[in-house]
Amino acid sequence: MEHLIWNVNPNILELGSLQLRWYGVLFVGSFFIGLLILQWIYKREGKDPASLDQLLIYVMVGAVVGSRLVHCLFYEPDFYLSHPLEILKVWKGGLASHGGLAGVLLALYLFSKRYDTPYMWLLSRIAIPGALTAACVRFGNLFNSEILGLPSQLPWAIVFERVDLIPRHPVQLYEALSYLVILAILLVIYRRVSPAFATKILPGTFLVLVFVARFLLEYTKTKQEAYTLDIPFSTGQLLSIPYILLGILWMIWAFKSKREA
């Protein structure tokens, strides 16, 4: 069976030791597209978008720091605890989405205090471009030929020639497309419900949809952690469970409070 051969250079541009990578362009680009989405939301709801440039900085720093720390401490703890300075070398790769979300949650809290913006309102609106960033990160992983799927003989399996010659599930595409569908769902909900209910329902919906997708798709991935767990779940699945439970509780609270209003 013929399979697609993937051998794309992860670098767009190389100038000596300086490299411009697809991953970085997609990651940073998603924040700027997200900024445009937030500008539309602010204008739609009659809010001043003047502070959005500062919000972009808060969110980017929170996402990078949180995702880097969780990757280093949960996926490769032995290496990074033995070489702590390597944690700072973000350009070498290694970001965990679970930590990225935790970092963004903290960054949004700090921003809401500094700029007197309701935290729940901000959190619910940032969930929409958040799904876009998650998709762009996985497209970036595809260009890096990383986060590989398990071997497969399905017609759409891909051979990542930079790694080996084994046809594999294109799990990066599975995740990226899942997150784009979630982005569409969040936009539909946002446009069809009242602003007050959107504030309540969107964060829980985001958590449930994103991390259920992540949990299920882990079954098509090779192990990412550098150690073995004596349980039938990967580190990615274990880190997803608290977010799923929080999202379910959040959605129950949202619908319950709507009925009581």
Domain-wise residue ranges, the chain: 4-260
d(CA 174, CA 148): 11
- Tell me: pLDDT of 161 over 90: yes
Buried b / exposed e across 158-189, counting CB within 10 Å, b at 16+? Answer: bbbeeeeeebbbbbbbbbbebbbebbeebeeb
pTM of the model: 0.88
Q: Is residue 166 a contact partner of residue 89, using CB atoms and an 8 Å limit?
A: no
Q: Are 103 and 60 in contact (CB under 8 A)?
A: no
**93 vs 11, residue with greater confidence:** 11
pLDDT tens readout for residues 162-185: 999 999 999 999 999 999 999 999
Q: Among the residues of the chain, which ranges form H helices?
A: 22-44, 52-70, 77-82, 97-114, 119-143, 171-192, 195-217, 235-260
DSSP β-ladder status, 4-6 and 158-160: parallel
The pLDDT tens digits of the residues spanning 181-196 come to 999 999 999 999 999 9
Tens-place pLDDT, residues 42-76: 999 999 888 898 998 999 899 888 888 888 888 78
